[in-house]
Amino acid sequence: MTLVAGVDSSTSATKVEVRDVDTGALVGRGAAPHPATRPPRSEQSPDDWWAAFEAAWSRAGTPSVAAISVAGQQHGLVVLDGQRRVVRPAKLWNDTESADDAAALLDRLPGGAAGWAAACGSVPVASFTITKLAWLHRVEPESWGRLAHVLLPHDWLTWRLTGGLTTDRGDASGTGYWSPIDDGYRFDLLALVDDGVLWESAVPVVLGPLERAGTWEGAVVAPGSGDNMAGAMGIGLRPGDVAVSLGTSGTVYAVSDRPTGDASGAVAGFADATGRFLPLVCTLNATRVTDAVRRLLGVDHGTLDELARAAAPGAGGLVLLPYLDGERTPNRPEATGVLAGLRTDVTREQLARAAFEGVVCGLLD
């Protein structure tokens, strides 16, 4: 029996699944949590990702596999020095401290938002890697002086497996400095952050969908990708299909045969993991919202579901604006949540339903 393994390194945890390559049968599974984060500063040590991977791998049975691939949370900034040591904790996709830097970058490129959409398919907001680089350059000059390599979370985990600094076109397209339109890095955009860095040697090699990143314990290591790109590939998304994904973030995405660029910034023009393109809308607030309400109500996930189902649609007029951790779409990095329509007869059921309706309506917007 030939086994393959998939690794999902998300914001909250690392999950491993091992399957029979011929039948698809699940052979092993394991998971381990990551340290919780609290935006506006949302940071994790990459070493914690590796510890979580090792724990999850052990819980999956420490299998002998023929191939392995890593999917990771998009946009996070991992900076290594010349000895490939992590310079500082990784700033994650939902860290909004770089909001001012995102606004400044818009002003530095001729055409502003439209210029960015034409250059790399997306208008950078605080989530994007390039804004986090600009933040590091502005706020931590000592860390900036040690910068030798810039990676994404999935890149770093692949490097731990193979020893090579690689990425793929899907995850690279979420940086704000790799263009699905041009199918390559835009070093002119990185020069807007610092034109004194030799960026060509700082960024990882972009592998094609069928290229090998290297080997690990005898297993072929695939290029891997960002979590949304891996999700699209995993469910066999085709042009004309639309997927909705709810995790720490909420995403709506589709596969396209052509690159896209939206100057409004609402739709990010990503690449996918197969050679096509992945226009995507992302909100910062999804299951963290329902988790917060669950915690306030003092119930488990199943009971929260039951409470929400018991309330009528519309939650009796109770409305939760779910921007608890700021928001990416629309671009409101300093926003907070709002609970409106409270009356003296409010019920726990209405609050539970308002949480779910707030998340869903945020995506529908």
How many angstroms separate the Cα of 162 from the Cα of each of 26, 156, 214, 221?
25, 10, 5, 7
As annotated, the active-site residues are 227
- What is the structure's pLDDT at 365? 77
- What is the structure's pLDDT at 364? 85
pTM: 0.93
Top-level class of domain 287-364: alpha beta
> Three-state SS string across 143-161, please?
HHHHCCEEECHHHHHHHHH
Which segments of the chain have a pLDDT < 50? none
Cα separation of 314 and 64, whole Å?
Answer: 51
Cα separation of 151 and 79, whole Å?
Answer: 6
Q: Do domains 3-239 and 287-364 have the same CATH topology?
A: yes
Cα separation of 101 and 243, whole Å?
Answer: 31
CATH no. for 3-239: 3.30.420.40
- What is the structure's pLDDT at 322? 97
Please write the tens of the pLDDT for every residue from 337-353. 999 999 999 999 999 99
Give the 3-state secondary structure of residue 225: strand
- What are the structural domain ranges in the chain? 3-239, 287-364
> Could you tell me where the DSSP H helices lie in 203-313?
227-234, 287-297, 301-310
Q: How many CB atoms lie within 10 A of CB 1?
A: 8
**Which residue has tokens 């910068």?**
147
